[in-house]
Amino acid sequence: MLKRISITGPESTGKSKLAKQLAKHFNTVWVEEYAREYLNSIGRPYNYADILKIAKKQLSNELELMPQANDYIFCDTDLVVTKIWCDVKFGKCHEWIEENILEHKHNLYLLCDVDLPWTEDPLREHPDKRKYLFDLYLKELKQKKLPYEIVNEFGNDRLQNAIKIILNTLK
């Protein structure tokens, strides 16, 4: 049975890199973060409605890639990310996102710790709130009783930590 693994957490915690590395290690596919593509294409500041479009397309991309996956599929971000993003930016979240977090939950959420140095990027917004955001992710995963593990360390150690978690958790 296919195991769906979300790489989640605050900005600049290595989610994209880790998703790609894990897919390579496990010889499978990974779902790229759609938000980056979308935000680069709109040519204006994003709004509340944009986050719902991003969430729906992120999930759609994942569902489309699942038939190509081999035992695991790794998702660079998920609906938990869009929920936290909505809550922090707009003080509310779309009902569709809330409903679909549980309807399309992953087998494992790898919550990336904020132990990596911040990397500047024009699409990133909160270099000074990473610990606060990490705590929001942790709270959300716990409240929704979603299976998660925290991934930390640097470089190859971070990847090896994630691999060990996957192998020990999803036997």
Whole-angstrom distance, CA of residue 25 vs CA of residue 156: 12
Q: For the chain, which residues make up each domain, given as ranges?
A: 3-169
Q: The domain 3-169: what is its CATH number? A: 3.40.50.300
Closest CA to 10 of 146, 130, 150: 130
Indicate the pTM of the whole model: 0.95
Q: Is the pLDDT of residue 124 over 90?
A: no
Task: Give the span between the Cα atoms of 13 and 55, in whole angstroms.
Answer: 20
Structural contact between residues 10 and 114, judged by C-beta atoms closer than 8 angstroms: yes
151 vs 155, which has greater pLDDT? 151
pLDDT at 20: 97
Would you state the structure tokens that stand for residue 71, as one six-digit string? 């035992």
Distance CA 154, CA 29 (A): 23
* Mean pLDDT computed over every residue of the chain: 95
Contact 7, 19 (CB under 8 A): yes
Q: Collapsing DSSP states into helix, strand and coil, what is residue 60?
A: helix
Element (H, E) at 108: strand 108-112
Task: Report the alpha-carbon distance of residue 95 to residue 17 in Å, rounded.
Answer: 30
Cα–Cα distance measured from residue 78 to residue 32, given in angstroms and rounded to the nearest whole number: 10
Asked if 33 and 78 count as a contact pair (C-beta separation under 8 A), the reply is: no
118 pLDDT tier (thresholds 50, 70, 90): confident
pLDDT band at 126 (very low <50, low <70, confident <90, very high): confident
Q: What is the pLDDT of residues 4-52, one digit of tens each?
A: 999 999 999 999 999 999 999 999 999 999 999 999 999 999 999 999 9
